[in-house]
Structures are given as structure tokens and as C-alpha cells.
Structure 1
Amino acid sequence: MHPAPSLIVFTTLSGLGFGLMVWLGIDPPEKGGWVMAVFALLALALAGIGLLASLWHLGHPERAWRALSQWRSSWLSREGVAAIVTIGVFTLYSGIIVLQGQPAPLLGGLAALLALVTIGCTAMIYAQLRSVPRWHDPLTPLLFLLYGLAGGGLLAGKITASAWLLVALGIAQVAAWTRGDKALAQSGSTMETATGLGHLGKVRLLEAPHTGGNYLLKEMAFRVGRKHAAKLRMIALGLAVVFPAAAGLMTDPKHLLGGLMVIAHLTGVLTARWLFYAEAEHVVGLYYGKR
């Protein structure tokens, strides 16, 4: 799949934003007041920028509101509705703490739960797609949740908990890459099924279906070299998982090291998200002889 920058920004920043909302909902800063205001604004900004990036990806962003009406059948619509409700509840919850200095554990728990639901809906946009075997896997929603919770925890200063979540994330990410590399071959989709000519026997491509490029080839048949993918996986794993997890478990990070952990994690997540799209083989590519 074509790794569109808007989708990479969307899934990365919104995951961090809603992940931070989870931590703030269940364990707000003890100092409250302006500290909570700073954290809340950061969470809302990350989630908001991510959602705006998703609108940028649309051909007609002005029509995005129409997608909200399809929540009964569309995970994209459910994600939009869940995001709006979550932001509303979280803003109310944060306002109570900032303005009144009063804890609101029930409202905070609801905001945290809604934030998790929103991340889950984002993940299901991809996990539901049988046409992309690499994404159609139970590990996809698990990865989205772990990325959101681990990154949000780093931003919230929950270093120890985040470090263990990063360990789990690293294991899940390696497992997802391993399973994903075999997913297309194990899906049962072949050039014979793609062309509908399987009854004739083994099919091979003699000439391309057309002489020029098209939307499907641009968006659905993007290919990344194996050597480049292997290097990028190491970079993503090292920055997003290994460095911040090791620093969190082996040291007591201060502000400077904590900031470096967040920057490294964010850089690694952006790399992993690029791979998430670039390595995803859509079965339509089989029709064009691309595996």
C-alpha cells in the first residue's frame, strides 16, 4: 500500500493523544491545576492534529461529516464518532480538575475507556480488511493499543509501566512482522483467483493489463525492497522500543533523558507506521503479477 504521509501522521499522533488521555483519565497529575491543563492540551493537540491529518487524506474533506452517519457498518465512521465523544468527555473531565481542583474519577475512567475504544476503532479500520492479509490479523488491534498506551505513558511520565508495555510491544511487533510476511501466501489468494482463470491451470503474466499507470497500481501495489524493509524494521524497533524500554527499566530518567525517550519513540513509531503501509500487500496486486 502507498504510505501516505497524512495517514502516517494520523495513526501516530492520534494514537499518542488518545493513549495519553487514557493515562490522564485513570491517574491524573497529583499537582492538578496548570499541570493537568498542560497535559490535557497536549493530549487534545495530538489527537486533534492526527484527526485533521486524516481529513487531509480525503479527496473532499468538506464531506467528512457524512461518514459519521455510517456508524452501524463502518469502522471509519465509528472511529469518528468515538473520537468526538472522547474529546468531549475528556475536555469536560480536564476542565473540572483544572477549574475546580476536584478529582472526577468516574468521569476520568469513562474518558479513558472511550479513548481505548477510539484507538480500537482506528485499528479495526485496517484489521477488518481481508483484501490486505498482513493487516487482517488479531495482532493489528493489539499493536495499535500497545503503541497508544506505551507512547501515552511515556508522555504522562509513567516510565516503569510504559517500559514494560514497550517490552510487550516489541514482542508483538516482531510477531506481527513474522506472521505478516507469510500472510499473503497463506491467504489463498493467487494470480489464478485474481484473474478468474484458475480453471485453466497455472497462470503467469504475459503482458501488463494496460500500458500506463493507474490509481490501483499507485495506491495498492506499492513495493519496498526486502533489504530496505529489514533495515527500517531494526530502526523502528530500536528507537520505538529498545532504547526507551532499556532507559526506563535500567535508569531513573530525568527530564532530558525522558525527552529523548519520547523523541526516539516517536521517530520509531513513524518508521514503523511507514512500514505498516509500505509492506501491506493488497490482493489486487496479484492481478498485475505483483507479490
Structure 2
Amino acid sequence: MHPAPSVIVFTSISGLGFGLFMWLGLGFPSFTGMAAFGVYFMAYALSVGGLLSSVLHLANKKNAIYAFSQWQTSWLSREGILSVIALFTFAPMAIAQIFFASDSLNWLGPIGSALALITVFSTSMIYAQLKTIPRWHMPLTPVLYLTYAIAGGALLSMQAKVAGVLLIVVLALQWAYWTMGDKRLAETGSDKGTATGLGSIGKVRMFESAHTARNYILDEMFFTVGRKHSQKLRMISTVLIGVVPVLMLLLLPVSMPMAIAALLIHVAGVLTSRWLFFAEAEHVVSLYYSRG
């Protein structure tokens, strides 16, 4: 698939935002006044900013309103509705903590935390439901998205040691995802023969490409990243996502500058891994465009 920048930003920073909301709902960190304002501002900025960035991927931005109308069949629609409900659930709690230094509405926190995680799950299911992209169509996809959100949220909520342990889990899941994903298309048994229905009479090869000019399918669903570059980017992503942040969080004394540095390094790794998430995804329609 084509790794569109808007979708990479959307899936990366919205996950961080809702991950932070999950921890806020559980009382981490427990702030009031301007300190609470700063944390809630960060959570809302990341969540809303991520959701808005996804609109940039639409050819006609006015179509964004339709994302809320297909909730019965579309995970994209469910994600949009759940995100709005989650954001509004946290609003009274945030107002109480910021302006009245009150915890009287903190009972909304666990409800908001659950909604935040369900929103991230809905985001992951936009991709995990697609049978036409075998690399995404497996149970590990939502697990990976949720773990990224929870670990990133722990970093943002200043749970340094917890974040360090969670990032180790993220690394293990990410490598499992890459290893399993590399085999997914081959495991489906799909090739040009099954795609055309001509496999029973011999080996099928492309004589000419399906189109003579660029088109929507080529622009959106066909992207090739060399194995050599892919492996290099996986190693870079591994170092940035977890190796360096984990060493910083678990071995160095906890401090604000250290936590911010670990967060920035982690975010760079998340963006790299999310680029690979899209770039390495093979849509079965690509079978019609290969000359192999």
C-alpha cells in the first residue's frame, strides 16, 4: 500500500493521544489546575490532531461527514463516533480538575479509559478487517495498535518504569508482527493463477500491465519497498521505538528532560514502523501488475 503521510500521522499520534487519555482516566498523572490543563491539552491535541490529519487523505474533504453515517458496517465510522464520545466523556472531568481542583467527576475516568481503548481498537480494525491485504488481516494487528497506544500513553503520563517494561512488550510484538506478516501473502495461496482463474492450465504471466498510465489503484494500493531497505528500516525502528527509550527509562534516574528525550525518540520510531506498516502491505490487486 502507498504510505500516505496523513494516514501515518493519523494512526501514530491519535494512538498516543488516546493512550494518554487511558492513563488519565485511571488517575495517572493526578493533576489539578494548570498542570492538569497542560496534560489534557496534550491529550486532546494529539487525539484531535491525529483524527483531523486523516481528513487530508480524502480527495473531497466534505466527504468526511459520511464517516459518521455508516456505523453499522464500517469500522472507520465506528472509530469516528467512538472518538467523539470518548473526547466528550473526558471533558467534564477535565473541567472539574482544571478549574475547580475537584475530583468529584473522576468516576468518569474508567469509562473514558475504556472508550479510548475501544477507539484505538476500532482504528486497528479498519486495517485488520481487510482480507485483501493479508499482512494486516490477522489478530496481532489490533493487539499491536493497543500496545503501542498504552505504552506511548505511559510515556506521556510520566510512568517511566511502566513505560520501559511496556516498550519491551511492544518490541516483541512488533518483531512477531513483521515475521508473521512476511509469510501472510504466500500462506493465502494467491497468485496470478488464482487471481485470473487460469492457474489450472499452466503458469500465468503478465503479457502487458493492466493500464498504460497511472491510476488510482497504482497510486493507492501498489508500493514496493526493497527487502534490503525494509530490513534496514526495521532495525532503525527497533532502536528508536524501544531499545534506546527502554535503556533510558529503566537505567537512568527519572527526570523530565530524560522522559521528554525518550518520548521524542520513541515517536520517531513509531512513525518509522508505521511507514513500514503501510509500505510493506501487499494488496492482492498487485498480482495483476507484476510481470513475474
Task: Provide TM-score, normalisation by structure 1.
Answer: 0.97
How far apart, CA to CA, are the structure 2 residues paired with 1:288 and 1:132?
15
Does the alignment pair 1:259 with 2:260?
A: yes
2:235 alignment partner in structure 1: 234
1:91 alignment partner in structure 2: 91
Tell me, what secondary structure is at the counterpart of 1:70?
A: coil
1:45 alignment partner in structure 2: 45
1:143 alignment partner in structure 2: 144
Percentage of matched positions with identical amino acids:
47
Tell me, what secondary structure is at the counterpart of 1:108?
A: helix
Does the alignment pair 1:176 with 2:153?
A: no
Report which stretch shifted further, 274-283 or 253-262: 253-262
How far apart, CA to CA, are the structure 2 residues paired with 1:82 and 1:188?
36
How many Å apart are 1:210 and its aligned residue?
A: 2.8
How many Å apart are 1:64 and its aligned residue?
A: 1.2
List, as ranges, runs of 4+ consecutive aligned residues in structure 1 with deviation greater than 6 Å: none
Tell me, what secondary structure is at the counterpart of 1:105?
A: coil
How many Å apart are 1:211 and its aligned residue?
A: 2.3
Matching of residues 58-137 of structure 1 within 5 Å? 58-103=58-103, 104-137=105-138
Q: Map Cα deviations across residues 105-147 of structure 1 (whole Å, 9 max, x no partner).
A: 3201111110001000000000000000000011110111111
Tell me, what secondary structure is at the counterpart of 2:282?
A: coil
How many Å apart are 1:290 and its aligned residue?
A: 6.6
How far apart, CA to CA, are the structure 1 residues paired with 2:113 and 2:30?
17
1:9 alignment partner in structure 2: 9
Aligned residues of 1:19 and 1:148 also touching (Cα < 8 A): yes
How far apart, CA to CA, are the structure 2 residues paired with 1:141 and 1:31?
31
Matching of residues 154-173 of structure 1 within 5 Å? 154-173=155-174
Change (3 A) 1:290 1:14: farther
In the alignment, structure 2 segments of 5+ residues that lack a partner are none
How far apart, CA to CA, are the structure 1 residues paired with 2:274 and 2:90?
26
How far apart, CA to CA, are the structure 2 residues paired with 1:211 and 1:44?
46
How many Å apart are 1:93 and its aligned residue?
A: 1.5
In structure 2, give the amino acid aligned to 1:166.
L
Aligned residues of 1:221 and 1:290 also touching (Cα < 8 A): no
2:35 alignment partner in structure 1: 35
